[in-house]
């Protein structure tokens, strides 16, 4: 057993903290909440230069070829600093979908450009039904000779507005799992996007496909095999999100402890009051739990071990514990914490979005129930 | 990162399981023993003797004192397997008196006590809490006055196992009433079969007792003083490097959850199995997640120790979280059983032999003993997070 980070991981963590401290201050986060794109191309270039866009892409496709657990460490820091922009949707959702299901030719075509920051890819999975299972995918892809025609609506597609390509999960048969993935240029005729206004000021879109014709070469991997990839992407996504939440929770705890030391009422720092001390102790407990339950699942995914149980447990725990951490953070900060000018609300809005992403605790607890034999 | 035990540890786990299956003198599937209960403690001591013969009772002791210098993770494996089967493994002699003697004891004290502790020949009782000194332990008032070759001890010690066959008590006594409170305390060993010692039983709300011991001018030979006079507070705080992750709680909880899942599958409410009720499914799943999280936090404490780090805040976190999780687990278990949940052990209608009901009542003790949840949270906030003292 080794519950710590190895030397390379510690270096990655340190350099991520150093970079984000310098390049992603809260002023940048706030600016990007209002920005049309939600990130700057300078930032994107820098992320590419760090090697982070290709962090887990194999070397032969121009990546750094680290493991998923390393990516989790990086995402933890990105969550701590609330890095805005399409990093997560590009690397975890778009990139890993291609890595998992693409043919050799498709990998050659997309992954090197993704690693260098030349293209941005996202994944269009959810639909207006809001379901997370294969039946929730109703957008149809009908075969017409060498082409497919896509019809339907995708919802909550992250960063579609700045994407070059969208990996689309489409129904190609009547069997429950007859799902195929297509990689479609975002500019294709018939693809229309509308930005949604969301709680975390992130950029999610409704993307409609109106008789969109794509060639069969845009089928990622094999026909009717897409759900297998989506099942994996949902696990990577859930744990990636847990890592972000884990870092966010640590930041909220640090911020609250600092505030409790500085803020004076009744002639002494509020951190001397046992009520506030116990809020902080409870937050520390939740943060500690989130870290290890996330790392365990990330490690298992890295090792290619069956991790259904650990992933479901992690997403269930972290979704709820981050929410508790934010609630106590708010309570300890008093009124200033829920003003726009304070960073506390930046975290609590993101915590809610992250809770909903890849299934909330109820969805994952239902999985756990089955796994423990109920 | 690596979240699995190594092969040697897993082999040891199998060895422990096999040993328990063969040697345990009671049916762990049906009984839930309380080491501080007078009837149960006899069985527990009997099993500890077998562990002593196996060398496992003192596996964490250094080899020079007859131990095995077992690694922290090996101790975790052992403690998990014991706790899963509800075997009270915490032995005050092994975990507290032995290590304290190794650090502070005279050669004579070491010779007199260590072999007997290792063979489970002494049943120790802890003499720390007093009726008026709980969380503020250093305010303790039991006094020991020097008189020739003896101390003369007067006062009372509470919440111990003196009623359950204890032979000796290790205790903190006030030897200098004028010094600041932490600096007038000494650590002494007292035989309980002595003139002036009275042991009373205090009935607990679950089916067990705790001891209240009154010392009325009891003579304790000075050779039973451990460490320096008036330095007892610091002697008592000494810790050998035992794994102190509290992993027994999630290990025990895992077993209880398995019982509750079985119960939910086998029993019905309004004509359908409990296990199909969505609320019950989610509650049990949520408890499973809490147990898993507690387990990992405990592993981290042991792992930090194995790396030579001192897990202060982390150990307090596992104590608070683990004991409160147990209380939620048993509390839900009782509720899930409906009206039957209220039945005492011994009733023919009691589900799971009434163990869940009794354990729920007992679980309040966990949140109070050995540093209340409130004291532990203070430790996390002040020592861990650096918040100022009030």
In this complex, which of B257, B314, B387 lies closest to A260 when CB atoms are compared? B387
**In chain A, whose CA is at the least distance from the CA of B299?**
A3
CB contact B274 to A (< 8 Å) = no
Q: Is the pLDDT of residue B2 over 90?
A: yes
* Min Cα separation B385/chain A (Å): 7
Q: For the segment A30-57, what is each residue's pLDDT rounded down to a tens digit?
A: 999 999 999 999 999 999 999 999 999 9
CA distances from A210 to A69, A158, A159, A217 (A): 39, 20, 20, 20
Q: Which residues of chain A are within 8 Å of residue B1 when distances are taken between CB atoms?
A: 2-6, 9, 69, 295, 298-299, 302
Banded pLDDT at A62 (limits 50, 70, 90): very high
Domains of chain A plus CATH, in order, are 7-92+105-118 (1.10.540.10), 122-224 (2.40.110.10), 228-371 (1.20.140.10)
CB contact B266 to A (< 8 Å) = no
Cross-chain residue pair B293–A293, CB shorter than 8 Å = yes
- CB atoms under 10 Å from CB of A156, counted, come to 21
Complex ipTM value: 0.95
Task: Answer positive or negative: Cα dihedral of B44, B46, B51, B55.
Answer: positive
CB contact B272 to A (< 8 Å) = no
**In chain B, whose CA is at the least distance from the CA of A276?**
B381
Assigned architecture for domain B124-236: Beta Barrel (2.40)
Instruction: Say if residues A65 and A59 touch (Cβ distance below 8 Å).
Output: yes
**In chain B, whose CA is at the least distance from the CA of A8?**
B1
> What is the rounded average pLDDT of the residues B167-181?
97
Q: Is the pLDDT of residue A172 over 90?
A: yes
CB contact B270 to A (< 8 Å) = no
Banded pLDDT at B241 (limits 50, 70, 90): confident
Q: Is the pLDDT of residue B277 over 80?
A: yes
What are A47's two structure tokens? Answer: 């992320």
Cross-chain residue pair B387–A373, CB shorter than 8 Å = no
What pLDDT, on a 0 to 100 scale, did the predictor assign at position B90? 72
Cross-chain residue pair B289–A316, CB shorter than 8 Å = yes
> What is the rounded average pLDDT of the residues B293-300?
98
Q: For the segment B183-232, what is each residue's pLDDT rounded down to a tens digit?
A: 999 999 999 999 999 999 999 999 889 999 999 999 999 999 999 999 99
> What is the rounded average pLDDT of the residues B6-35?
90
- Counting residues of chain B whose pLDDT is more than 90, the rounded percentage is 87
What pLDDT, on a 0 to 100 scale, did the predictor assign at position B242? 84
Average pLDDT, chain B: 94
pTM score: 0.96
Q: Which residues of chain B are within 8 Å of residue A5 when distances are taken between CB atoms?
A: 1
> What is the rounded average pLDDT of the residues B135-142?
96
Distance, CA of B159 to CA of B338 (rounded, Å): 32
**In chain B, whose CA is at the least distance from the CA of A10?**
B1
B355 half-sphere exposure, CB direction, 13 A CA radius: 19
B7-118 to CATH, choices 3.30.360.10, 3.30.930.10, 1.10.510.10, 1.10.540.10 = 1.10.540.10
Q: For the segment A311-354, what is each residue's pLDDT rounded down to a tens digit?
A: 999 999 999 999 999 999 999 999 999 999 999 999 999 999 99
CA distances from A9 to A31, A68, A280, A303, B301 (A): 30, 11, 28, 16, 21
What pLDDT, on a 0 to 100 scale, did the predictor assign at position B207? 86
What pLDDT, on a 0 to 100 scale, did the predictor assign at position A314? 98
Banded pLDDT at B240 (limits 50, 70, 90): low
- Counting residues of chain A whose pLDDT is more than 90, the rounded percentage is 100
CB contact B207 to A (< 8 Å) = no
> What is the rounded average pLDDT of the residues A205-214?
98
> What is the rounded average pLDDT of the residues B148-157?
98
In this complex, which of B3, B278, B385 lies closest to A284 when CB atoms are compared? B385
* Min Cα separation B269/chain A (Å): 15
For the CA atoms of A229, A231, A234, A238, the dihedral, rounded to the nearest 10 degrees, stands at -130
Q: Is the pLDDT of residue A104 over 90?
A: yes
In this complex, which of B5, B265, B386 lies closest to A1 when CB atoms are compared? B5
Q: Is the pLDDT of residue B37 over 90?
A: no
Q: For the segment A63-78, what is each residue's pLDDT rounded down to a tens digit?
A: 999 999 999 999 999 9
Cross-chain residue pair B377–A295, CB shorter than 8 Å = no
**In chain B, whose CA is at the least distance from the CA of A272?**
B390
Cross-chain residue pair A374–B2, CB shorter than 8 Å = no
Q: Which residues of chain B are within 8 Å of residue A372 when distances are taken between CB atoms?
A: 257, 261, 284-285, 288
Query: Number of residue pairs across A and B with CB atoms under 8 Å?
Result: 154
Name the residue ranges covered by the structural domains of chain B: 7-118, 124-236, 248-384
What pLDDT, on a 0 to 100 scale, did the predictor assign at position B41? 84
What pLDDT, on a 0 to 100 scale, did the predictor assign at position B362? 94
The one-character DSSP state at B327 is H
What pLDDT, on a 0 to 100 scale, did the predictor assign at position A215? 96
CATH topology of domain B248-384: Butyryl-CoA Dehydrogenase, subunit A; domain 3 (1.20.140)
Q: Which residues of chain A are within 8 Å of residue B384 when distances are taken between CB atoms?
A: 281, 284
Q: Is the pLDDT of residue B91 over 90?
A: no
Q: Name the one residue in this structure whose structure tokens are 């032979």.
A: B167
Q: For the segment B353-389, what is each residue's pLDDT rounded down to a tens digit?
A: 999 999 999 999 999 999 999 999 999 999 999 999 9
> What is the rounded average pLDDT of the residues B275-303?
98
What pLDDT, on a 0 to 100 scale, did the predictor assign at position A189? 97
Q: For the segment B97-122, what is each residue's pLDDT rounded down to a tens digit?
A: 999 999 999 999 999 999 999 999 99
């Amino acid at each position: 057993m080794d519950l710590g980070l190895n030397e390379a991981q510690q270096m990655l963590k340190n350099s991520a903290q150093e970079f984000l401290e310098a390049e992603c201050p809260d002023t940048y986060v706030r600016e990007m909440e209002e920005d049309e794109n939600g990130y700057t191309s300078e930032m994107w270039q820098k992320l590419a230069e760090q090697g982070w866009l290709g962090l887990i892409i194999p070397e032969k496709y121009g990546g750094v070829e680290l493991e998923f657990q390393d990516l989790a460490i990086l995402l933890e820091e990105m969550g701590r600093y609330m890095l805005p922009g399409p990093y997560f949707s590009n690397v975890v959702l778009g990139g890993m979908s291609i890595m998992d299901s693409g043919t050799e030719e498709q990998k050659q075509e997309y992954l090197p450009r993704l690693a260098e920051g030349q293209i941005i890819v996202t994944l269009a999975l959810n639909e207006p039904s809001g379901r997370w299972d294969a039946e929730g995918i109703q957008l149809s892809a009908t075969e017409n000779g060498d082409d497919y025609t896509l019809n339907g609506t995708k919802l909550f597609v992250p960063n579609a507005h700045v994407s070059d390509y969208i990996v689309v999960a489409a129904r190609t048969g009547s069997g429950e799992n007859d799902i195929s993935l297509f990689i479609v240029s975002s500019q294709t005729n018939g693809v229309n996007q509308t930005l949604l206004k969301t709680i975390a000021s992130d950029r999610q879109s409704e993307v409609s496909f109106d008789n969109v014709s794509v060639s069969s070469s845009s089928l990622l991997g094999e026909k009717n095999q897409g759900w297998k990839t989506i099942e994996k992407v949902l696990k990577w996504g859930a744990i990636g999100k847990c890592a972000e939440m884990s870092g966010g929770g640590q930041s909220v705890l640090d911020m609250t402890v600092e505030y409790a030391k500085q803020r004076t009422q009744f002639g002494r720092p509020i951190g001397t009051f046992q009520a506030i001390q116990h809020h902080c102790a409870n937050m520390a407990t939740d943060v500690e739990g989130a870290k290890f339950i996330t790392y365990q699942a990330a490690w298992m995914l890295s090792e290619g071990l069956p991790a259904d149980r650990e992933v479901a447990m992690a997403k269930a725990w972290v979704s709820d514990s981050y929410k508790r951490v934010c609630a106590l953070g708010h309570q300890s900060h008093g009124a200033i914490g829920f003003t726009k000018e304070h960073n506390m609300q930046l975290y609590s809005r993101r915590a809610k979005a992250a809770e909903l992403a890849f299934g909330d605790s109820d969805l994952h607890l239902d999985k756990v129930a089955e796994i423990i034999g109920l | 990162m690596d979240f699995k035990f190594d092969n040697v540890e897993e082999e040891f786990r199998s060895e422990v399981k096999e040993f328990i299956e063969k040697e345990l003198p009671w049916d762990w599937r049906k009984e839930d023993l309380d080491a501080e209960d007078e009837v149960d403690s006899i069985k527990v001591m009997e099993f500890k003797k077998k562990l002593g013969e196996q060398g496992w009772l003192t596996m964490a002791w250094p080899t020079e004192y007859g131990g095995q210098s077992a690694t922290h993770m090996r101790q975790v494996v052992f403690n998990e397997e014991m706790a899963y089967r509800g075997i009270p493994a915490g032995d005050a002699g092994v975990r507290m008196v032995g290590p304290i003697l190794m650090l502070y004891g005279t050669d004579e004290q070491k010779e007199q006590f260590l072999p007997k502790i290792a063979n489970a020949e002494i049943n120790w009782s802890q003499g720390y809490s007093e009726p008026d000194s709980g969380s503020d332990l250093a305010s303790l008032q039991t006094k020991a006055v020097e008189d020739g070759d003896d101390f003369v001890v007067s006062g009372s010690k509470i919440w111990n196992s003196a009623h359950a066959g204890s032979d000796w008590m290790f205790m903190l006594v006030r030897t200098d009433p004028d010094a600041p409170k932490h600096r007038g305390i000494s650590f002494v060993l007292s035989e309980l079969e002595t003139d002036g010692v009275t042991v009373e039983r205090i009935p607990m709300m679950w089916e067990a007792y705790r001891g209240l011991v009154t010392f009325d001018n009891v003579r304790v030979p000075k050779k039973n003083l451990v460490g320096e006079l008036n330095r007892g507070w610091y002697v008592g705080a000494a810790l050998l490097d035992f794994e102190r992750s509290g992993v027994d709680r999630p290990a025990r909880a895992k077993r209880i959850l398995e019982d509750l899942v079985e119960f939910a599958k086998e029993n019905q409410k309004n004509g359908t199995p409990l296990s199909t009720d969505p609320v019950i499914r989610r509650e049990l799943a949520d408890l499973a997640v809490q147990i898993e999280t507690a387990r990992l936090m405990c592993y981290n404490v042991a792992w930090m120790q194995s790396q030579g780090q001192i897990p202060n805040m982390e150990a307090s976190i596992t104590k608070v979280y683990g004991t409160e999780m147990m209380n939620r687990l048993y509390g839900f278990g009782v509720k899930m059983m409906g009206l039957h949940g209220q039945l005492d052990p011994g009733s023919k209608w009691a589900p799971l032999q009434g163990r869940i009901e009794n354990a729920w009542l007992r679980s309040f003790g966990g949140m109070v003993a050995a540093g209340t949840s409130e004291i532990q949270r203070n430790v996390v906030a002040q020592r861990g997070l650096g918040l100022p003292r009030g």
